[in-house]
Structure 1
Amino acid sequence: MPQLHDLPATEMVAGYRRRELSPVDVTQAVLRHIERWEPHLQALFLLRPERALAQARASEARWLRGEPLGPIDGVPVTLKDNIATAGDPTPLGTAAVDLVPAAADAPPAARVRDSGGVVVAKTTMPDYGMLSSGLSSYHALARNPWDLTKTPGGSSAGAGAAAAAGYGPLHVGTDIGGSLRLPAGWCGIFTLKPSLGRIPIDPPYTGRAAGPMTRSVADAALLMQVLSGADPRDSMSLPWQDIAWHDSDRGVGRLRGLRIGLLLEAGCGLAVLPEVRSAIEHAARLFERAGATVLPMQPFMTQGMLDGMDHFWRMRSHVDLKALPPERRALVLPYIRRWADSAATLGGEAMFKAASQFHATRVATVAACRAFDYVLSPVSPVPAFPAELPSPTNDPLRPLEHIGFTVPFNMSEQPAASVHCGFTRDGLPIGLQIAGQRFDDLGVLQVARAFELLREPMPAWPQPPAGSREHVD
């Protein structure tokens, strides 16, 4: 039997309903497990056990009255640093930000609280979310529980590590170019980057989405019940829609008759390593055996598209950093400063051409996917890299060479998931990306769940290093 901290959210809720489990006992178990792991992973900040236990006691009282607030009442949850929580600072992963208490919960945080989720902690991220690693000038260096010498990915770094390590079942991250899917792929967990606007977020930004990070599709679907819907603070939020998130498990039969595209080259950036390619091809064969038609796709991204988006984001960061007082600016990671400063000489024409690549990427992605129900690809061309590095290339002038598979679906607003599909010879997880047509978030969950049923059984989740100690109050 799994220990309390390892239980899926769906089982926790069922146990609360039957009065066989207590939110207090579950939260205590999660906190004890965190205490063993956290000195090694450094995935959290604002870990406040007393507040978490107070929420758990309130939840327990509600369940005893038969009056839960929502689908995740009493379930431990973490929220990413950049998802504001009322009264708490939002450092955005950087030492350069003034630590001003947030005036209100951002929409994902408000929905978790309104549904009774037990907010255990916030999770760490790199400076301004502009790295696919856990390197930060404010937070301690986050590490991957499968291999502590490797990064968990980013920018939802702490969330990916926390989910894989068993810091409770539900975690909320964000994604603007792969920041949910990259850590999910490198940590062996599941995530859904939903259609743009499906989960409201504040502040909104082109391509930016919040999403669930969990160990299973079922838990992600449960969290989608809570997070999805409209909010006036998000100018891009979608109207409320009655989506049957509880119907995410249609079985392997869901794949029969589907037309699936198989994208094995991004068309830009780093080459796909043979081990990664092999794992994705194996996954595609499982889809074929289940009755889907899998057809090869030609790359639709170009290096010009990737470079244009990179240059635009450099200029955005350059402008932001230039507005900081010199003493604050000096606190930003040198890698980020060099990346941003490289845009200083770009003129208006160059920036117009760079900005145009966002729309060009959108058009190319939609056109390439039109012939398919779903698209399979690697999440990343490479597995997790050394934890101390800011990016796989360790080159601030080539920082985004690993996001060629993920970023197009941010720009096209299509839902895209990462689901574990294998390991490298060194034991590092490999993620399969499953992308669907815009607004087909539930379909992506159903197809991902079918793949969970087809793939080889997952090994045991990683455990804290031997000798890790817990303190029991």
Structure 2
Amino acid sequence: MESQTAIARMTATDLLVHYADTSLSPVEVLQAVSAVIDEREPVLNAFWVRSGDSALQEARASEQRWARGEPLGPIDGVPVTLKENIARAGVPQSSGHAGAEPTVPEHNSPIADRVAESGGVVVGSTVMPDWGMLSSGVSSRHGITRSPWDPSWTTGGSSSGAGAACAAGYAPLNVGTDIGGSVRLPGTWLGLTTLKPSSGRVPLDVPYLGRAAGPMTRSAEDAALLLSVLARPDVRDWTSLPPEELPLRDLGLDVTGLRVGLHLDAGCGMPVAPEVAEAVAAVALAFAGAGAVVEEVAPFVTPGMLADLDLFWRVRSWNDYSALPPEGREQILPYIRRWVQGGSEVSGSRILECYQQTMNLQQATVAATQAFDVVLSPVAPGVAFDAEWPMPFGNEDRGMAHIGFTAAYNMSGQPAATTNCGFTVEGKPIGVQVAGRRFDDVGVLRAVRWYEGARPASAVPDWPITGGTTTDRPTTDGATARG
């Protein structure tokens, strides 16, 4: 019998093999991850709502289906977390802030429906910072979410809780959302394998310019597995792509002749830390050593593009902030209150200029990367910072100086993944971003899977999954919100 910690370390693809040969059951797996959650959650603070009785019911139903040899779908019985802005019927949503009472959706989002239809066991809704506009785990409603690697480090954000849950072993499959890097920044700072899919690949209930939802996992195979569930069409998202059978079970890749771009200078924002640049350059050397053709990619994002994207978002968030009652505004994080003030008196013509800049950014990104099968770059210029900091530059307002590598692919709609490629001398994870042509999500995942098999042992995460030594059964008191 596997220990509970060992079970929590398993990937979703591992669990499915055990379910099929009956060496593990979904209830046993839920018991194992529940014990890990019990031990780690008081420090990590990853959950907004933890599913109790509902998760146990889902696990028992899955156990019965596997006993009959009739799994409901490709992730039947696998623990899953969903970011709190992914609507689940009857589960409160707070948008990460304390400025208003949480809303309670009456219906599931497309993502929640796809997970349910496939038999996933939802163990909870994960936290995010105020309106998802911080790259950290700092929230006026939830407090501070901390890294499983070291609680003094940030998780990244805005999919902060999802990232912590994944790295800590709460669930092998986690869904985050990303409008400028919010899946991939926790990816690099927590050592995860993540994917911001092509625009429209995963249907959303609230589509918006640049927004995507994607897998946060510990392997490319698990990311592909979860994408196969999430990418089914849904008419509620009028921007979603037409039905397509993606060969996500076939991640084999011969990199001989693969055209690989190496992009080490975003052209804007914070300078790249030497340790980050060296780790990403080593990934390019690995591809070249296996026969890929590697060429440097010149900077293509200008400081003006990044500044105008930041201003566009400030105006949007100022509108959200202004809609709150005065007492609610006082509850918003001080950093966010100061940041949105920058959008308080922006003219209509100026905001249209910002919108046009996003189109310029889209054009520049596609033009600069079209010649390559994949482009390798840092995810962020630096590594995990203090957990208490709202941004990589502390409380200083430097706009979005840290997302020059990530936001470009949100605006262009291209798929972009992360996986771990090294560690600093302090032991902080360093991720590489692997981006591809529009709609080539499979090609990106194949490149990530290839690198996961080729990377040196020093770059392979030894996941900080601890605890799980109790024999307590999953809680049966229903979902309990914490805020």
Q: TM-score range by the shorter chain?
A: over 0.9
Task: List aligned pairs for 1:26-425, cutoff 5 A.
Answer: 26-248=29-251, 250-251=252-253, 253=254, 255-395=255-395, 397-425=397-425
Write out per-residue CA displacement over residues 85-108 of structure 1, whole angstroms, 9 at most, x where no aligned residue: 000111111112322321111111
Higher relative contact order (CA 8 A, sep 6+): 2
Deviation at 1:19, TM superposition (A): 1.7
Contact 1:338/1:396 (<8 A) preserved = no
Please, which runs of 5 or more residues in structure 2 have no aligned partner?
474-483
Q: Which AA in structure 1 matches 2:45?
A: Q
- TM-score with structure 1 setting the length: 0.96
Deviation at 1:32, TM superposition (A): 0.4
Which region of structure 1 is more displaced relative to structure 2, 204-213 or 393-402?
393-402
**Cα distance between partner residues in 1 of 2:336 and 2:231:** 33
Structure 1 residues 268 and 128, CA gap change in structure 2 (3 angstroms): same
Deviation at 1:207, TM superposition (A): 0.8
Contact 1:153/1:182 (<8 A) preserved = yes
Deviation at 1:423, TM superposition (A): 0.4
- Look up the match of 2:480: none
Contact 1:270/1:402 (<8 A) preserved = yes
**Cα distance between partner residues in 2 of 1:236 and 1:395:** 36
Contact 2:136/2:391 (<8 A) preserved = yes
Contact 1:314/1:341 (<8 A) preserved = yes
Write out per-residue CA displacement over residues 355-406 of structure 1, whole angstroms, 9 at most, x where no aligned residue: 2111010000000012211100000000011011110112463131110000
Deviation at 1:348, TM superposition (A): 2.7
Deviation at 1:146, TM superposition (A): 1.3
Deviation at 1:464, TM superposition (A): 4.1
Deviation at 1:233, TM superposition (A): 1.4
- Look up the match of 2:13: 10
Contact 1:45/1:122 (<8 A) preserved = yes
Write out per-residue CA displacement over residues 129-180 of structure 1, whole angstroms, 9 at most, x where no aligned residue: 0000000011131011112111000000011111111112110000000000
| Count, aligned residues | 468
Q: Which AA in structure 1 matches 2:71?
A: P
**Cα distance between partner residues in 2 of 1:171 and 1:6:** 14
Please, which runs of 5 or more residues in structure 1 have no aligned partner?
none
**Cα distance between partner residues in 2 of 1:211 and 1:171:** 8
Which region of structure 1 is more displaced relative to structure 2, 63-72 or 271-280?
63-72
Contact 2:135/2:158 (<8 A) preserved = yes
Q: Secondary structure at the residue paired with 2:123?
A: strand
Deviation at 1:470, TM superposition (A): 4.6
**Cα distance between partner residues in 2 of 1:202 and 1:10:** 28
Q: Secondary structure at the residue paired with 1:57?
A: helix
**Cα distance between partner residues in 2 of 1:367 and 1:31:** 47
Q: Which AA in structure 2 matches 1:358?
A: T
Contact 1:35/1:469 (<8 A) preserved = no
Write out per-residue CA displacement over residues 157-216 of structure 1, whole angstroms, 9 at most, x where no aligned residue: 011111111112110000000000000110001001000010001111011000010000
Which region of structure 1 is more displaced relative to structure 2, 145-154 or 387-396?
387-396
**Cα distance between partner residues in 2 of 1:27 and 1:263:** 41
Contact 2:9/2:463 (<8 A) preserved = no
**Cα distance between partner residues in 2 of 1:364 and 1:115:** 38
Deviation at 1:327, TM superposition (A): 1.1
Deviation at 1:416, TM superposition (A): 0.3
- Look up the match of 1:461: 463
Contact 2:158/2:183 (<8 A) preserved = yes
Deviation at 1:325, TM superposition (A): 1.0
Contact 1:31/1:49 (<8 A) preserved = no
**Cα distance between partner residues in 1 of 2:382 and 2:152:** 16
**Cα distance between partner residues in 2 of 1:459 and 1:360:** 38
- Look up the match of 2:481: none
Q: Which AA in structure 2 matches 1:384?
A: A
**Cα distance between partner residues in 2 of 1:228 and 1:48:** 24
Contact 1:259/1:294 (<8 A) preserved = yes
Q: Which AA in structure 1 matches 2:462?
A: A
Identity among equivalent pairs (%): 53
**Cα distance between partner residues in 2 of 1:397 and 1:386:** 16
Deviation at 1:471, TM superposition (A): 6.7
Q: Secondary structure at the residue paired with 2:146?
A: coil
Write out per-residue CA displacement over residues 51-96 of structure 1, whole angstroms, 9 at most, x where no aligned residue: 2111100110111122211000000000001001000111111112
- TM-score with structure 2 setting the length: 0.95
Contact 1:194/1:209 (<8 A) preserved = yes
Q: Which AA in structure 2 matches 1:262?
A: L
Contact 1:172/1:213 (<8 A) preserved = yes
Q: Which AA in structure 2 matches 1:156?
A: S
**Cα distance between partner residues in 2 of 1:153 and 1:100:** 25
Q: Which AA in structure 2 matches 1:380?
A: A
Q: Secondary structure at the residue paired with 1:245?
A: coil
Deviation at 1:346, TM superposition (A): 2.1
Q: Which AA in structure 2 matches 1:305?
A: M
**Cα distance between partner residues in 2 of 1:99 and 1:125:** 13
Q: Secondary structure at the residue paired with 1:105?
A: coil
